[in-house]
Amino acid sequence: MKPARFDYFAPGTVDEALALLAEHGDQAKPLAGGQSLIPAMNFRLARPQVLVDLNQVAALSYIRANGSGLAIGAMTRQRAVERSDLVARAAPLLAEAMPSIAHPQIRNRGTVGGSLAHADPSAELPAVALALETRFRAKSATGERWIPAGEFFKGMLETALEPGELLVEIAIPPLPARSGTAFLEMARRHGDYALVGVAAVVTLEANGRCQAARVALLSVGDGPVLASEAATVLAGQAPSAELARAAGERAASRDVDPPSDIHASAAYRRRLVAVLTRRALERAFERAEKGSGEQGAVPSG
Amino acid sequence: MESRRQIGERVRRTEDARLLTGRALFVDDVRLDGMLHVAFLRSQHAHARLTGMDATAARARPGVVAVYTAADLGDYWRPGPLLVPPPPIAGLVFNACTQVPLAKEKLRHVGEPIAMVVAESRYLAEDALDDIVVEAEPLPAVVDLEAALAKGAPRVHEHLPSNVAAHAVQRKGDYARAKQRAHTVIKRRFRYDRGASAAIENRAVAAQWDPRAEELTVWDTTQAPIPIRNGLAQLLGLLESQVRVVAPFVGGGFGPKIMMYYPEEVLVPWAAMKLGRPVKWTEDRQENFFATTQERGQIHDAEITLDQSGKILGVRDVFLHDTGAYDPYGLTVPINSQCTLLGPYEIPNYESEFTAVFTNKTIVTPVRGAGRQHGVFVIERLLDFAAKELGIDRAEIRRRNLLRRDQFPFNNEILFQDSAPLTYDSGDYEPALDQALELIDYHRFVREEQPRLRAAGRHVGIGIVCYVEGTGIGPYEGARVTVEPGGRVRLATGVGTQGQGHFTAFAQIVAEVLGVDVADVHVITGDTREFHWGTGTFASRGAVVAGSACQAAALRVREKILELASQELEASKADLVLAGGSVHVRGDPSAGITLGALAVKANPLRGAVRPGTEPGLEATAYFGPDRGSTASGVHAMLVEVR
Amino acid sequence: MDYLLPTATDVPRVETAHRETPSPLNPMGAKGVGEAGAIPTGALFAQAVEDALGRTGLEICEIPLSPSRLFELIEEAR
């Protein structure tokens, strides 16, 4: 469990990092918090010939208000997001999901950009990003572009980032008024990889009916899965326990085709999708009804 | 002459200062000049024929010092010993197939070592693993215990007619007749799946050959440093006294660290001698999952017969035991299952039959519990189902079957792992059951709490389980106690220590006998240079067997102290008191003599001593029990399922 | 990564009580307890979980028990 030989660079600025990535192309891997890449290298499952360590690039670590939304630098530690008042106010779904990411030691090192760019289907941040319609800012030596969440995740550990391109920032748009969110997951123990997780966003009309819903699921496919069938069940309906249940059942039967592995059978995952989606929607509706201003209070799972 | 009670008192653990401040030596801390590092090429196949190997490129890689395959070991290549020969059970079938240092013709489990790379660093050694070309022809793997016994199943060991490693039947009474009288018969199939213990410190071996002293020193995470020393001496053609094995602080044993000899354990010292440089290998977590022994896989078809009142008439159990690819530890695990099933209950008729099965999996040797939990699982679940069927409370059906206090010693009439008849030495089970029920408030929970919680939609359950644990088996351990001139006491014993608190427990025993402070007893364990007779740490025997040896040695030293002090203080031994590190005449604590001063007097530099005098205040003693002592317990728990 | 490393936070509250029935086989009357924590645990969990669910027909005859496997057993007992 020792990594294969590699060359190591620790640039101090984004431009230096981009230049190194451009120079070494697909032989280079950016190193963020290292919580996934380093174990993969130790197992020799990943053998990058060049590591571009971003930990000296101070300019990539920030949490900023962006209108009434948020901008978060890719190298921002997960622990910083978890503890940020700004995040709690502007993106309570993100705040609620943070404690489910592994353990404090890992969140102290792990970064927002690292987790998103790694695109592990059982990770929390990709599902949250998808539910929140997050936009991804990618830079390369030749320019920059914005990628919407729906196009960023391409499959198992795959993203739309090209060789030489670096994820530098994510932008989370503000939620409309009368919105509510909730995050829930089931893991063998708190901090373990989720067997199934749900990130839910609902917005109510003035008359109290559901105007829009975005439910993203994790650990049920090759990447975060948007439960669009469940959303159609919800659209235009008045929130109720029965509605949440119907949406959960629809998500389980139509939106996902979960895998069986050593931790959970496909049938059990499907059941978890139904139950967790129902519970998350009930919670999100309740928060939406209370008014979006109050939903920042840290709820308990 | 009473000393202050120290055994069983709450005291500060004497080893913790070293452990908590990072001063305790673990094997991976051993760093020596010129030290080389090892990586093993391991089988990726569960079962395969090894048809060719080429290590030329690995040998040529810069930084690689040596690459060894089975062919390079010459006469040193030989299967390991059968550690625990099976007990003399009538009609027993046992096929010994012990592990080999490096695979030669066949790969029998994932993780089996194929080649050993020695290099200037572990990184380089692991790089070189990729250079070795292995030609292997995969064979169908033997994984499922029942399929393994089917006709035409692939065989793990082709020289045997089947995958049967062992077959044994033990009987007590006449089960078939008991069944004829039964009111209720319950039969079920039980499965206990495989698991691996994962010590915080993985295995590690470091070795250094000193050509001037002609001495080999081996640091090893073993639970049995003395047998390892003896075995290595024999394998390497050295005197036992030329080999020093140190099992320093070990970060968890749990059984797998008493397997002997692991391939790494015989290869690292050999390589150190051959290369003339210190060599170290530390198992990484990935290797630990398939190269360190495991346990637990069994399938039981069990039947219990009872009368109307819930009294057990008999039990019949037929089980399959997964022994993995080799069976160096004999039948300890399945025999423990067989014996422990009887538990604290009177089971007049018992028939237990097992078949141990070779599979293409990691070797099975005892892991914490060592087969006992399987037996407990079977009998306790059968009793639960019987209680339900007969409409008897779960605690009550247990109570009705417990052995009574006046039945001890109780002979179960079958053989235990130490080849002695399974005899319970002492016990009083019913009060323990009552105490557990009271502690968890069993009756109130069942009567009031659970219905209330159910009504509120919560799933909360209670469990109550009894067991007997065979412990403290022989053959023997020893200890040497020395009072040093400074007044502190030195205790050396052979058992290794893996976090159990031996340093404190043994010190308490000696401190109580000699009337000194626990903190003044300096304990050394697991270094064959300090003490070289003994067997190891296993089967809950440290306090029982080694502890008894410590006490015996301390009593002899106490006798020497009193003898000398009675001369010095001109008083009869019966009037002397040992307390606070000195000896005084009863009623006159001010006019005493310290143990240190007596130790100085016991080792004169000039003058004459009486013939036959032994110098110093020192004694060595050994203890070996006739058979193991049996502990028992009751566990109760509340659990909520959400 | 699939390695379920138990930590201190996974240990439930444990209360212990002692009873002594000294062994006649050694001078201190000592008995071992090194495996006591591991031996009855599987049987105890199976019984307590089965009792918690209180469903007719649900019998737990195997260990270990994952949430997924327990779900399957409950489905089978339906």
**pLDDT value at residue A296:** 42
Given a cut of 60, is residue C51 above it in pLDDT?
Answer: yes
In a domain, B433, yes or no: no
Domain residue ranges in chain C: 39-78
What's the CA gap between A216 and A130, in Å, rounded?
6
In this structure, are B105 and B208 located in the same domain? yes
CATH number of the CATH domain containing A41: 3.30.43.10
Q: Which residues of C touch B188 (CB under 8 A)?
A: 59, 61
Give residue-wise pLDDT tens across range A108-138.
999 999 999 999 999 999 999 999 999 999 9
Give residue-wise pLDDT tens across range B457-476.
999 999 999 999 999 999 99
In this structure, are B520 and B598 located in the same domain? yes
Q: Which residue, of A135, A156, A172, is where some domain finishes?
A: A172
In this structure, are B233 and B311 located in the same domain? no
In a domain, A299, yes or no: no
In this structure, are A46 and A98 located in the same domain? no
CA neighbours closer than 13 Å in the CB half-sphere of residue B268: 29
CATH number of the CATH domain containing A209: 3.30.390.50
Q: Which residues of B touch C60 (CB under 8 A)?
A: 381
For residue B362, what pLDDT band results from cuts at 50, 70 and 90?
A: very high
Of B425, B465, B629, the CB nearest to C44: B465
What's the CA gap between B298 and B315, in Å, rounded?
18
**Contact call for A265 and C68, based on CB within 8 A:** yes
Given a cut of 90, is residue B388 above it in pLDDT?
Answer: yes
In a domain, B595, yes or no: yes
Where helices occur in A148-298 by DSSP H, the ranges are 149-152, 228-234, 241-250, 266-290
Radius of gyration of chain C (CA): 18
In this structure, are A191 and A159 located in the same domain? no
In this structure, are A164 and A140 located in the same domain? yes
**pLDDT value at residue A299:** 39
Q: Which of A38, A220, A265 to mutate to test the interface with C (most CBs of C within 10 A)?
A: A265
Taking CA atoms, B591 is separated from B3, B514, B571, B598, in Å, by: 18, 18, 12, 14
In this structure, are B113 and B245 located in the same domain? yes
Q: Which residues of A touch B126 (CB under 8 A)?
A: 1-2, 44
**pLDDT value at residue A17:** 98
**pLDDT value at residue B89:** 94
**pLDDT value at residue C1:** 55
Pair of tokens at residue B71:
């062919």
Of C3 and B464, more confident: B464
In this structure, are B595 and B486 located in the same domain? yes
In this structure, are A163 and A187 located in the same domain? no
Of C1, C2, C71, the CB nearest to A271: C71
Give residue-wise pLDDT tens across range B102-122.
999 999 999 999 999 999 999
Give residue-wise pLDDT tens across range A284-301.
999 999 874 444 443 333
Residue keyed to tokens 């390991």? B80
In this structure, are A232 and A153 located in the same domain? no
Please state the rounded mean pLDDT for residues A88-101.
97
Q: Which residue, of A172, A192, A208, is where some domain finishes?
A: A172
Give the domain extent around A119: 60-172
Please state the rounded mean pLDDT for residues B145-161.
97
Q: Is residue C44 less than 8 Å (CB to CB) from chain B?
A: yes
For residue C6, what pLDDT band results from cuts at 50, 70 and 90?
A: confident
What's the CA gap between B214 and B401, in Å, rounded?
62
CB atoms within 10 A of CB B212: 5
Given a cut of 90, is residue B591 above it in pLDDT?
Answer: no
DSSP three-state, residue B220 = strand
Tell me the shortest Cα–Cα distance from B168 to chain C, in angstroms. Answer: 23
Of A1 and B62, more confident: B62
Given a cut of 90, is residue B259 above it in pLDDT?
Answer: no
Number of domains in chain B: 3
In this structure, are B126 and B236 located in the same domain? yes
Please state the rounded mean pLDDT for residues C32-52.
95
Amino acid at B618: E
**Contact call for B127 and A1, based on CB within 8 A:** no
Q: Which residue, of A172, A193, A219, is where some domain finishes?
A: A172
Q: Which residue, of B273, B291, B309, is where some domain finishes?
A: B291
Give the domain extent around B315: 164-195+295-416
Give residue-wise pLDDT tens across range B418-437.
888 899 999 999 999 999 99
Given a cut of 50, is residue C33 above it in pLDDT?
Answer: yes
Share of chain B above pLDDT 90, in %: 94
Give residue-wise pLDDT tens across range A25-70.
999 999 999 999 999 999 999 999 999 999 999 999 999 998 889 9
In this structure, are B101 and B177 located in the same domain? no
**pLDDT value at residue B609:** 86
In a domain, B301, yes or no: yes
Q: Is residue B122 less than 8 Å (CB to CB) from chain A?
A: yes
Average of per-residue pLDDT values in chain B? 96
In this structure, are A82 and A126 located in the same domain? yes
Q: Which residues of C touch A271 (CB under 8 A)?
A: 71
**pLDDT value at residue A4:** 96
CATH number of the CATH domain containing B38: 3.90.1170.50
Residue in A with minimal Cα distance to B286:
A1
Q: Which of C2, C9, C68, C72 to mutate to test the interface with A (most CBs of A within 10 A)?
A: C68
CATH number of the CATH domain containing B301: 3.30.365.10
Residue B136: what are its φ and ψ, rounded to 5°?
-135, 140
In a domain, B467, yes or no: no
Given a cut of 60, is residue B352 above it in pLDDT?
Answer: yes
Of the candidates B420, B320, B413, the one whose C-alpha atom is nearest the C-alpha of residue B371 is B320
User: B133-142, B536-545, B615-624: which has the minimum mean pLDDT?
Assistant: B536-545
What value of ipTM does the predicted structure carry? 0.97
In a domain, B534, yes or no: yes
**pLDDT value at residue A293:** 44
User: A284-293, B55-64, B506-515, C23-32: which has the minimum mean pLDDT?
Assistant: A284-293
Given a cut of 50, is residue B139 above it in pLDDT?
Answer: yes
Give residue-wise pLDDT tens across range A229-250.
999 999 999 999 999 999 999 9
In this structure, are B253 and B286 located in the same domain? yes
What's the CA gap between B462 and B436, in Å, rounded?
12
**pLDDT value at residue B589:** 86
Where helices occur in B257-371 by DSSP H, the ranges are 263-275, 285-291, 332-340
In this structure, are A194 and A278 located in the same domain? yes
Given a cut of 60, is residue B304 above it in pLDDT?
Answer: yes
In this structure, are A189 and A133 located in the same domain? no
Does residue B417 contact residue B473 with C-beta atoms inside 8 Å?
yes
Residue A65: what are its φ and ψ, rounded to 5°?
-70, 140
Number of domains in chain A: 3
Pair of tokens at residue B604:
């004169």
**pLDDT value at residue A297:** 40
In this structure, are B542 and B598 located in the same domain? yes
In a domain, B243, yes or no: yes
Amino acid at A169: E
